[in-house]
Amino acid sequence: MSGCKSLVAFLLVFSLSLLTFCPLRVNAEEPTTPFVSAESAVLIEAQSGNVIYSKNADQRLPMASTTKIITALTALSQAHPDTVITANADAVGVEGSSIYLVEGEALTLEQLLYALLLESANDAAVAIAIGVSGSVEAFAEQMNLLADVLGLQDTHFVNPHGLDHEDHYTTASELAKLTRYALQNELIREIVGTRKTTIPHPGEVGTRLLVNHNKLLRLYEDCIGVKTGFTKRSGRCLVSAAERDGVTLIAVTLNAPNDWNDHTAMLDYGFAKYESVLLCDNEEYLFPLSVVGGADSYVLLVNADPLRVTLPKKRDEITVTVEAPHFAYAPVAEGETLGQVVFQCDTDGDGTPEMIAKTTLNTCYSVLRYTPKRSFWNWLCALFGK
State the pLDDT at residue 11.
39
State the pLDDT at residue 206.
83
State the pLDDT at residue 348.
79
CA dihedral angle for residue 67, residue 68, residue 74, residue 79, rounded to 10 degrees: 160
Q: Is the pLDDT of residue 259 over 60?
A: yes
Whether the Cβ atoms of residue 308 and residue 276 lie closer than 8 Å to each other: yes
Of the residues 40, 65, 133, 240, only one is catalytic, namely 65
State the pLDDT at residue 149.
97
Please say if 6 is a catalytic residue.
no
Of the residues 40, 97, 98, 120, only one is catalytic, namely 120
Of the residues 55, 68, 177, 273, only one is catalytic, namely 68
State the pLDDT at residue 382.
62
User: What digits encode the pLDDT tens for the residues 96-150?
Assistant: 999 999 999 999 999 999 999 999 999 999 999 999 999 999 999 999 999 999 9
Q: Is the pLDDT of residue 19 over 90?
A: no
Start-end of CATH 3.40.710.10 domains in the chain? 40-257
For 247-251, 327-331, 375-379, which range has the lowest pLDDT when averaged over its residues?
375-379
User: What digits encode the pLDDT tens for the residues 89-100?
Assistant: 999 999 999 999
Instruction: Report d(CA 158, CA 154) in Å as an integer.
Output: 14
Please say if 234 is a catalytic residue.
no
State the pLDDT at residue 375.
66
State the pLDDT at residue 1.
43
State the pLDDT at residue 372.
77
Q: Is the pLDDT of residue 333 over 70?
A: yes
Check: CATH 2.60.410.10 for 1-32+277-386?
A: yes
Nearest-CA neighbor of 52 among 78, 33, 76? Answer: 33
Supply the mean pLDDT for the chain.
90
Left (φ > 0), alpha (ψ -120 to 50) or beta: where does 351 sit? Answer: left
Residue 318: pLDDT band with limits 50, 70, 90: very high
User: What digits encode the pLDDT tens for the residues 154-201?
Assistant: 999 999 999 999 999 999 999 999 999 999 999 999 999 999 999 998
Please say if 65 is a catalytic residue.
yes
- State the fold for domain 40-257: Beta-lactamase (3.40.710)
Start-end of CATH 2.60.410.10 domains in the chain? 1-32+277-386
Residue 10: pLDDT band with limits 50, 70, 90: very low
State the pLDDT at residue 205.
76
State the pLDDT at residue 203.
75
